[in-house]
A and B are shown apart, each in its own frame.
Chain A
Amino acid sequence: MTDAAVTMDFHPQPAPGQPRPWAFPTPERGGLGNGLATLRCHRPGQQVVAVEICLSVPLDVEPDGLDGIATVMVDALSEGTAQHTAEEFAAELERCGATLRAHADYLGARVSLEVPVSRLARALALLAEALRAPAFAASEIDRLVRNRLDEIPLELANPARRAARQLSRELFPASSRLSRPRKGSEDTVARIDAAAVRALYQAHVRPATATAVIVGDLTGTDLDAVLAGTLGGWTGAAAEPPPTPPVTADDTGRVVIVDRPGAVQTQLLIGRTGPDRHDRVWPALVLGTYCLGGTLTSRLDRVLREEKGYTYGVRAFEQVLRSPAPGAPDTAAGASVLAISGSVDTASTGPALNDLRAVLHTLAADGLTQAERDTAVQNLVGVAPLEYERAAPVANTLADQVEQHLPDDYQAQLYARLPGTGTAEATATVVAAFPENRLVTILVGDASQIEGPVQAAGLGDVGVVPG
């Protein structure tokens, strides 16, 4: 390559320096007089403090026919209180430079606050007000319900969201809350009113079953005094957290095409269920899943993206849906969804599915190599200081642990266990997690273009549903 004359001086690849110690932060556990559990964690330099409130409101407690009410309820906490109208409350928060987000999910509900530490006390007072004395004014609930009804078509128009909905519907029986949309469907949302929202709040939102996680640079903040003066004033009777219902799933290998005539790409979502983090195979599952589809040098993208150019990227991942405390009476097993997700151009749908299957087949036949296992461990453990630089990801992980009934040092222990997880164990776990003939394949795309090639791919029966 004569025109690529290179004139720089080359040096050999440098060796790493001496690693500097880093550990996932250990939170300090405590509690307030009202029964609210607290986890606090000082992160030097992080001026934006992250606060997570975990509420024991898993979607299973939503009344029959009112799917989506937990989402409306937690959203409505910040839409007006006994002291402030919705508009005043939002403005007060924003004058603190604060953001407040709420999220209701299968495992529980969360209210997440981020605020510069200089205005932490003011923002916590507002958060406490929202938890203690929400107004649930009929006109605000009505607005949230109507907004939610408007958002449903927006979400369904997104092929990745549409695929996720179809997979839940395929995997879980209609009787299970897990089969139905997290934020409800048009008919259930339309039935939600202020009285039902207040009833759900009164039954399940209370400090005794909640946890507050506070992470950030707490130098110079008298957090005990701040908490006592804010969240400490939230009252409610003691209660047991709700039980976890059992899960059944149908992972018979099959294909469902969600028809989108004219779509230029096919969205793939290929999955089944797996264990939760309490299972001792979790570190091996994380490792194996990374090797399969964690990044663009993992097995799937090495072929589908970097060799064939079928996609911008395909990822394999796990998402926990059920995680009861081990050993508690009457508890069902935990569960997660394990899946492969990405989109490919319409014409490449058949070839991409064939290659994807071949990747799984080769993995099962030949296993992972020691080198790829080593690289995966180095990445998963090595990126931890980067991932947890800010306060919010730390608070989020600690809150996940609370919600999933994991010990406070779970993440720290995971980083200790990954390097001890061998190639054979990671191979066996990921192969068992993604058996090529027991996967439910959802394809959101143009059925008239892709149905033939998909039939030929031999992934099981092929059905088509409207988009």
Chain B
Amino acid sequence: MPTVAVPHLRAIEGTCTPVGHAAIQRAGSGGLRATEHRLGNGLRLVLSEDHLTPVAAVCLWYDVGSRQEVSGRTGLAHLFEHLMFQGSAQVKGNGHFELVQGAGGSLNGSTSFERTNYYETMPAHQLELALWLEADRMGSLLAALDEESLQNQRDVVKNERRQRYDNVPYGTAFERLTALAYPEGHPYHHTPIGSMADLDAVTLDDARAFFRANYAPDNAVLAVAGDIDPEQTRRWAEKYFGSIPSHGGKVPPRDGTLPGIIGAELRVEIQEEVPARALMAAYRMPRDGTRECDAADVALTVLGDGLSSRLYNRLVRRDRTAISAGFGLLRLAGAPSLGWLDVKASGDAGIPEIGAAVDEELARLGVQAPTAEEMERAQALLERGWLDRLSTAAGRADALCRYTVLFGDPQLAFTAIDRLLDITAGEIQAIAAARLRPGNRAVLVYDRVPAVGTAAGQASQAAAGENGQPEGARP
């Protein structure tokens, strides 16, 4: 099957190291349960017990992301996430990684607009170690944080930026479109990776101040899922985290409210040496946590998810003007969500022709509700997405953290699919009519610079095998 370029919405968040993770029961509430507790210092604890396989997942979300960054310090939240792996009072140097991996666990962290998360997936008998490690850095990171770690991780993050954004075709599309879709000065105007100049400017004092402002038990949610003893886990959480003082002084993030509709199309066209012309767009969509946001999710699934969506059928199968066509929802709770369109042109097809077909399909959904078969397809794909997400202990812990941090209720994780399946065809048509309009989008067009002589021809001749994508070692 041809590759489908559904935007990798999770992959565009800043992350620390590539580590795979992901999946139990039906996607709805069936079989899964979670309990919620609160420690004296304000740390919220969510526990979900099952005994399918001897794995326990720890996930810790701090309610801080790139939206808390100030002008001149973009990228600080993500750089700080890296510093969290550089040791704390009782954990030397890279000890966090060494101890977890030596225990047969896997771990990582990631930073997005509105949260920073850290996670360890452990063989069940090593759960206590992960809790000890997370507590140590929550309570004592500043005892170990020094200039040498900062300098080193600044260089690592700058290389992460080069590798993932600056040295790959279309790599900067996400930050360009985000900057268009959210106005100057808006907390979501810049993306978590930050700018090189701002990364260079970060000082040790900035990092310390960021920790003091945001890293505290009353600004975090700890979820533990999998093969656990809930009573024992509560005792451990109390033992290791219970004495960490809360600070109660968190500055709330700046308001991300914007009008429902952008009002006029914002457009940037760039000429770059890209391998294919591309049409990308970000539509302003309802905030996560609303029924309209769920309607938008189903609408974009009808239009742009999978290999038989309206846009795929139109552009790739019938018009044959594109090699990929995807449309997906980047859900955001503190600002409008983004509907993310990504089309890569085929051969000599022009952007105006592709753009006109996209507009026609979007307008059509506004006047013609999805058919019963289209609804069945979208619902099956969305249900599948939730089954995948909940099929690992780590996925369950992450979902529980998400709904607790953003909406105050972990149980919403288990009913998310029910809310999606409740959306009607009429609601989809309504959201499409209201939101999927040219006046409600930021557009980014990539056009090719004229070809330069023989280089392209020679490159294809030099082509050979495909060995050698780096992956983690696996026996």
Interface residues of A (CB under 8 A from B): 1, 3-4, 6-11, 13-14, 16-22, 44-48, 75, 78-79, 86-87, 90-91, 93-102, 106, 115-116, 119, 143-144, 146-147, 149-154, 156-170, 172, 178-183, 185-186, 258, 263-265, 267, 269, 271, 283, 286, 289-290, 293-297, 302, 305-313, 315-317, 319, 321, 337, 339, 341-345, 374-375, 378-387, 389-390, 411, 414-415, 418, 465-467
- Please state if B55 and A386 are interface contacts (CB–CB under 8 Å): yes
What's the least CB distance linking A54 to chain B, in Å?
Answer: 18
- Please state if A48 and B155 are interface contacts (CB–CB under 8 Å): no
Which B residues touch A382, using CB under 8 A?
A: 103-105, 123, 126
Would you give 29 A-B contacts (Cβ < 8 Å), ordered by A?
A: A8-B135, A13-B129, A90-B307, A91-B373, A95-B377, A97-B383, A150-B347, A157-B168, A164-B466, A164-B467, A165-B464, A165-B466, A168-B467, A169-B463, A172-B464, A258-B462, A265-B163, A294-B473, A306-B156, A311-B156, A317-B473, A378-B102, A382-B103, A382-B126, A383-B101, A383-B106, A386-B106, A390-B23, A411-B475
- Please state if A389 and B380 are interface contacts (CB–CB under 8 Å): no
- Please state if B475 and A415 are interface contacts (CB–CB under 8 Å): yes
B158 is an interface residue with CB less than 8 A from chain A: yes
Complex: chain A residue closest to B448, CB-CB: A153
Report B26-75 residues with CB < 8 Å from chain A CB: 26, 50, 52-55
Q: Which of B139, B169, B464 has the most CB of A within 10 A?
A: B464
Complex: chain A residue closest to B124, CB-CB: A20
Q: How large is the interface on B (under 10, 10 to 19, 20 to 34, 35 or more residues)?
A: 35 or more
- Please state if A10 and B468 are interface contacts (CB–CB under 8 Å): no
What's the least CB distance linking B260 to chain A, in Å?
Answer: 31
- Please state if B168 and A159 are interface contacts (CB–CB under 8 Å): yes
Report B348-396 residues with CB < 8 Å from chain A CB: 373, 376-377, 380-381, 383-384, 387-388, 391-394
Alpha-carbon separation in the docked complex, A154 to B21 (Å): 27
B259 is an interface residue with CB less than 8 A from chain A: no
Q: Which of B3, B125, B153, B473 has the most CB of A within 10 A?
A: B473
Which B residues touch A258, using CB under 8 A?
A: 462
- Please state if B168 and A96 are interface contacts (CB–CB under 8 Å): no
Alpha-carbon separation in the docked complex, A1 to B204 (Å): 13
- Please state if B125 and A146 are interface contacts (CB–CB under 8 Å): no
Report B117-143 residues with CB < 8 Å from chain A CB: 121-129, 132, 135-136, 139-140, 142-143
- Please state if A167 and B467 are interface contacts (CB–CB under 8 Å): yes
Which A residues touch B473, using CB under 8 A?
A: 286, 289-290, 293-295, 315-317, 380
Which B residues touch A313, using CB under 8 A?
A: 17-18
Alpha-carbon separation in the docked complex, A262 to B158 (Å): 17
Which B residues touch A415, using CB under 8 A?
A: 475
- Please state if B102 and A375 are interface contacts (CB–CB under 8 Å): yes
- Please state if B346 and A389 are interface contacts (CB–CB under 8 Å): no
- Please state if B94 and A380 are interface contacts (CB–CB under 8 Å): no
Alpha-carbon separation in the docked complex, A151 to B167 (Å): 18
Complex: chain A residue closest to B461, CB-CB: A185
Complex: chain B residue closest to A9, CB-CB: B243
What's the least CB distance linking A207 to chain B, in Å?
Answer: 22
Alpha-carbon separation in the docked complex, A307 to B156 (Å): 10
B251 is an interface residue with CB less than 8 A from chain A: no
Given A87-B313, A156-B275, A389-B23, 18 extra CB contacts under 8 A: A14-B129, A46-B391, A47-B387, A87-B308, A90-B306, A106-B465, A146-B320, A153-B276, A265-B163, A293-B473, A296-B97, A311-B159, A339-B467, A343-B167, A345-B158, A378-B104, A385-B123, A386-B55
Which B residues touch A99, using CB under 8 A?
A: 384
Alpha-carbon separation in the docked complex, A47 to B54 (Å): 18
B270 is an interface residue with CB less than 8 A from chain A: no
- Please state if A1 and B2 are interface contacts (CB–CB under 8 Å): no
Alpha-carbon separation in the docked complex, A381 to B154 (Å): 33
- Please state if B317 and A143 are interface contacts (CB–CB under 8 Å): yes
Which A residues touch B463, using CB under 8 A?
A: 152, 156, 165, 169, 180-181, 185
Which A residues touch B140, using CB under 8 A?
A: 4, 6, 8, 10
Q: Which of B245, B393, B458, B468 has the most CB of A within 10 A?
A: B468
